[in-house]
A and B are shown apart, each in its own frame.
Chain A
Amino acid sequence: MYQTKYHRASSVDEAVSLFAKGSEAKFLAGGQTLLPVMKQRLASPSDVIDLGKIKELQGVELSGDTLTIKAATTYYDIMTNADVKKAIPAIAHLTSVLGDPAVRYRGTIGGSIANNDPAADFPAALLALGATVKTNKRSIAAQDFFQGLFSTALEDGEIITAVSFPVPAKAGYEKMRHPASRFALTGVFVAQTKSGEVRVAATGASQSGVMRVPAIEAALKANWSPSAIDSVSISANGLLADIHGTAEYRANLVKVMAQRAVAAAS
């Protein structure tokens, strides 16, 4: 790791001003993504601003039909939260299959979406559930937030403060995990809103990061059941291919994971 300067912020305002003072600063939350990248010397921030101890960024609130998860809440705290389990059990399930126990104690929802790794789990949940990303400056709809591989609508120095999810009628998430890294080879989040709209998002599949799957959405809108997806065909064009799986394999995984997610949805 290259030299850097570590700062612990005690409030969002302090974090913003520390960021502005650094020449090439980066925000750090759980560090489960940024630190590995820094260790590989793929990132060399002049300053890292730790958001992990900021109290206003911690916790979960359920208010009516909106579940709000503050940005620095860890996967473990999301997974074990009673409101999350009650309102959107698919999110509790998603966090339970994300990383491993030690990673879940450190990693945060804000870190997961700020990085927009093409194989991260949370982007699929945000896109399928039609979530809103709250920052220190504005609110951004999930569909506008994710802008391709490792790219988001966040501006320099902008801090994610929370994510708000509308509570769906039904939702489910299933993924094929890489056995060593536990990242999603492909994961699919399916959601049916209370107004009957269906949204399906896949992670780990597309070369441009998390994506909606309109063909599966249409099939599920007509008939919410795993068998409705049998006849859907997913193109391998634009899908990721690497030593772990071909684009055709991932195209098939999108279907199979969607079917499993519908079967598991509650």
Chain B
Amino acid sequence: MSTVKLTVNGKAVAVDVEDRTLLVQLLRDHLNLTGTHVGCDTSQCGACVVHMDGRAVKSCTMLAGQADGASITTIEGIAKGDELHPMQAAFRDNHGLQCGYCTPGMIMSAIDIVQRHGGQLDEATVRSELEGNICRCTGYHNIVKAVLDAAGRMKVSQAAE
């Protein structure tokens, strides 16, 4: 057992876990943050994507210990109170989900994509950058629409801050 100290959604936490614990298990089983999903468990599907120190990573392919000292943001940590994050709002408005299982990972990856590309996003870029996130319902069309829509909204909200 080891104590892993990290910041999750802005809150400092210390969790006693077995050394073999994955980051996603720490989040789901120890902190009850079950918005982060496990899909394939083989780092292909992207349902487990969270942000570690601002970078989108697959939390099923990291030991919890590797995140010691890091700042983690999960899907639960991106809305401001009742106000959805612009990416969440865009997924809702564009019907960018059906069953919703892939959605938390999609949204966390999509925020990272927008942050990296800023205003340079086009449809081809979004499609190629979402290669590590698999959706079995939507056919991706509305997901791509949502990400492009959110890219515009995030630019506006950044300008307003």
Q: Are B46 and A102 in contact (CB under 8 A)?
A: yes
B9 at interface (Cβ–Cβ under 8 A)? no
CA distance A136 to B22 in the complex (A): 29
Q: How many whole Å from B36's CB to the nearest CB in chain A?
A: 13
Known A50-B65, A50-B66; contact A102-B19, beta-carbon cutoff 8 A: no
Q: How many whole Å from B64's CB to the nearest CB in chain A?
A: 8
Q: Which of B46, B49, B65 has the most CB of A within 10 A?
A: B65
Task: Name the A residues within 8 Å of B129 (CB-CB).
Answer: 101
Q: Are A31 and B109 in contact (CB under 8 A)?
A: no
CA distance A8 to B112 in the complex (A): 27
CA distance A137 to B3 in the complex (A): 34
Known A8-B68, A101-B129, A181-B44; contact A35-B61, beta-carbon cutoff 8 A: yes
CA distance A65 to B2 in the complex (A): 46
Q: Which of B43, B66, B109, B132 has the most CB of A within 10 A?
A: B43
**Stretch of B26-34, B51-59, B85-93, B151-159 contacting A (4+ beta carbons < 8 Å):** B51-59
Q: How many whole Å from B121's CB to the nearest CB in chain A?
A: 13
CA distance A76 to B66 in the complex (A): 18
Q: Are A35 and B63 in contact (CB under 8 A)?
A: yes
Task: Name the A residues within 8 Å of B83 (CB-CB).
Answer: none
B82 at interface (Cβ–Cβ under 8 A)? no
CA distance A31 to B67 in the complex (A): 12
Q: How many whole Å from B42's CB to the nearest CB in chain A?
A: 6
Known A3-B19, A50-B65; contact A102-B41, beta-carbon cutoff 8 A: no
Task: Name the A residues within 8 Å of B57 (CB-CB).
Answer: 102, 105-106
The B interface is mostly helix, strand or loop, or mixed, namely mixed
Known A31-B63, A32-B61, A35-B61; contact A101-B109, beta-carbon cutoff 8 A: yes
Q: Are A3 and B44 in contact (CB under 8 A)?
A: no
Q: Are B20 and A4 in contact (CB under 8 A)?
A: yes
Partner of B44, one of A4, A35, A180: A180
Total count of chain A residues near the partner, CB < 8 A: 28
A2 at interface (Cβ–Cβ under 8 A)? yes
Known A99-B132, A101-B112; contact A31-B61, beta-carbon cutoff 8 A: yes
Task: Name the A residues within 8 Å of B46 (CB-CB).
Answer: 100, 102
Task: Name the A residues within 8 Å of B42 (CB-CB).
Answer: 36, 39
A218 at interface (Cβ–Cβ under 8 A)? no
Partner of A182, one of B18, B65, B113, B131: B131
Partner of B65, one of A8, A102, A180, A181: A8
| A4-23 interface bits toward B, Cβ cutoff 8 Å, 1 = contact, 0 = none | 11101000000000000000
CA distance A1 to B21 in the complex (A): 9
Q: Which residue of chain A lies nearest to B44 when distances are taken between CB atoms in the complex?
A: A180
A103 at interface (Cβ–Cβ under 8 A)? yes
Return the 3 tightest CB-CB contacts between A and B, nearest first: A100-B132, A6-B65, A6-B19
Residues of B within 8 A of A (CB): 2, 18-20, 22, 41-44, 46, 49, 55-58, 61-63, 65-66, 68, 109, 112-113, 129, 131-134
Q: List 23 A-B contacts (CB under 8 A).
A: A3-B18, A3-B20, A6-B20, A8-B65, A8-B68, A31-B63, A31-B66, A35-B63, A36-B42, A50-B63, A76-B55, A100-B46, A101-B56, A101-B132, A102-B46, A102-B58, A102-B109, A105-B55, A105-B57, A106-B57, A180-B44, A180-B134, A182-B132
